[in-house]
Homo-oligomer: A and B are copies of this chain.
Amino acid sequence: MKRVINYSAGPAGIPLEVLEQARDEMLDWNNTGCSVMEVSHRGKDYDALHMGTMDLFREVAGLPADYHVLFTTGGASMQFLMLPMNYLGEGKEADYILTGNWAQGAAKEAKRYGKISNPANMEVEAGSGKFVAIPKQGELKLNPNAEYVHYTSNNTVEGTQWHYIPDVKGKPLCCDMSSDIFSRPLDFTKFSLFYAGAQKNLGPSGVTVVAVKDEFLAKAHDGLPAMLGYKSYQDKFSMHNTPPCFSIYILNLVLNWIKKNGGLEAIGKMNDKKQKLLYGMVDNSKGYYKGLANTDSRSSMNIDFKLPTAELDDKFVKDAKAAGIVQTKGYRSMGGIRLSAYNAVTIKDVETTVQFMQDFMAKNPA
Q: Using Cβ atoms and an 8 Å threshold, which residues of chain B touch A22?
A: 26
Nearest chain B residue, comparing its CB with the CB of A204:
B37
- CB-based nearest B residue for A223: B112
- Residue A246 is within 8 A (CB to CB) of chain B in the complex: yes
Task: Report the minimum CB–CB distance from A297 to chain B (whole Å).
Answer: 24
Which residues from B are CB-within-8-Å of A20? 26-27
Interface of A is mostly: loop
Nearest chain B residue, comparing its CB with the CB of A16: B27
**Structural contact, B242 and A81, CB atoms closer than 8 A:** no
Range of interface residues on chain A?
Answer: 35 or more
Q: Judge if A86 is at the interface, Cβ distance under 8 Å.
A: no
Contact indicator A26/B28 (Cβ below 8 Å): no
Residue A326 at the chain B interface, CB threshold 8 Å: yes
Produce 1/0 per residue, A89-103, CB < 8 A to B: 000000000000000
Stretch at the interface among A71-79, A159-167, A183-191: A71-79
CB distance from A112 to the nearest CB of B (A): 7
- Please provide the chain A residues from 1 to 58 with a CB less than 8 Å away from any CB of chain B in the complex: 1-4, 6, 8-14, 16, 19-20, 22-23, 26-28, 31-35, 37-43
Chain B residues whose CB sits within 8 angstroms of the CB of A12 once the complex forms: 38
Our pick among B76, B81, B247 for the contact of A244 (Cβ within 8 Å) is B247
- Is the Cβ of B206 less than 8 Å from the Cβ of A77? no
A241 at the interface (CB under 8 A from B): yes
Measured between alpha carbons, how far is A327 from B39 in the docked complex, in Å? Answer: 8
